[in-house]
A = this chain, B = another copy of it.
Amino acid sequence: MLDAALLGTGGMMPMPNRFLASFALRLDGKLLLIDCGEGTQVSHRILGWGFKNIDVICITHFHADHISGLAGLILTIANSNREDALTIIGPPGLCDVASSLLVIVPELPFEIIFKELEFTPGVTQNIKAAGFDISAFPLKHRMACFAYSAELSRPGRFDAERAKELEIPLKYWNVLQKGQDVKYEGKTFTPSMVLGTQRRGLKISYCTDTRPVDGLADFVRHSDLFVCEGLYGDNEKLEKAASHRHMIYSEAAKIAKDAEVSELWLTHFSPAMLNPSEFLKNARNIFPNSHAGSDRKNKTFKFIDE
C-alpha cells in the first residue's frame, strides 16, 4: 500500500491556496518527497503525515520554485526529534546548492546524505533509499532536471500446498515470503521453491519541468500514477510553454497515453491559470483518465488484487 499526495501544484510563484511544486509518497510510515518549493512544509503540516519520517527528498532541479522550501523544511524535520540520516537526491551540484541554502539552518541533529545524479541524456539511474526503489531520468529543461519513479515490487503468490509438501514449518513461511532463504534441519529452502512468478507491483512517476523527450514514455511506462507538469492547459499556449522548456496539458496526456499509465495528475500550473480544471478536456481528449492536481489531492494505491 502506497499513499501519494500533491503538496504543492504551483509553478514559478506560490499563490493563495496553491503552494509551489512538491509531491509526497508514504510507504510503511516512511516518507519520500519530490521537490520542496516555498510553503511545502505548511502544506505537509495540513496534510498531517508528520515530519519525523521524511527519509528521502528528491530534487528535480534547482529553480527556486522547486527547492526554495528546503531550508525551512529541514529545520522543521530537525524540530521533530529526527536523528536518523536524511537522504537528498538531485542533479549534479546538489551538495553545493543545498549547503548554500542551509546557511540559515544551525547544526542539525541528523546527518544529510547527498546523492548527486549524473546527467546523461537517455540514461536512467536507480537508487535505493529508505525502502524505496527510486529511478531518475534526465529531462530537457533550461538546466539539468530529472523525472523520478518510485516502485514497490511484489513477490509471487505463496504456494501453501507446496510449502506443506516440503514440510517447511509454518513459522518460516513469512521469512520465505519476504524473499529470504531458510535453513532448517540441514536443508535450505529458497523463496523460489514456494513463490509463484513475480506479480505486478506499484509504480508512481513524477515529471516536471521539461519538454517531451525521447525515452520519457518508456521511463514512466505502466505507472499506476503519473504526475506530470501542465504549465498551461490552453493548446494555444504551446509556443509560450515550449520557449521556457515546459509542457502543456495535451503534451502530458500524450506521454500518459503512450506510456499506458493508469492515471494522470496534472501539476505545476502557471500563476496565470486560475482554474486548472477549465482546460482538462484538452488532456482528456487524448488520455481520458486525466485529472487536474490540487494541493493535498491524495490517493492510496493498493496491489491490484488486494
Contacts and interface: CB of A to CB of B under 8 A. Distances in A.
Interface of A: 12-16, 19-20, 37-39, 41-42, 45-46, 62-65, 67-69, 71-72, 75-76, 79, 96-97, 100-101, 103-105
Nearest to A14: B42
A41 B64 contact: no
A183 to B, nearest CB: 50
Contacts of A97: 103-104
7 contacts: A13-B41, A13-B72, A62-B104, A64-B105, A68-B71, A68-B75, A71-B101
Q: How many copies of the chain does the oligomer comprise?
A: 2
A120 B281 CA distance: 63
A104 B36 CA distance: 13
A271 to B, nearest CB: 9
B104 A68 contact: yes
Contact of A45 (B15, B46, B101): B15
B71 A64 contact: yes
Nearest to A10: B42
A39 B8 CA distance: 13
Contact of A100 (B16, B38, B64, B103): B103
Nearest to A20: B72
Contacts of A76: 13
A75 B37 CA distance: 13
B15 A42 contact: yes
A294 to B, nearest CB: 16
B104 A63 contact: yes
A105 B100 CA distance: 12
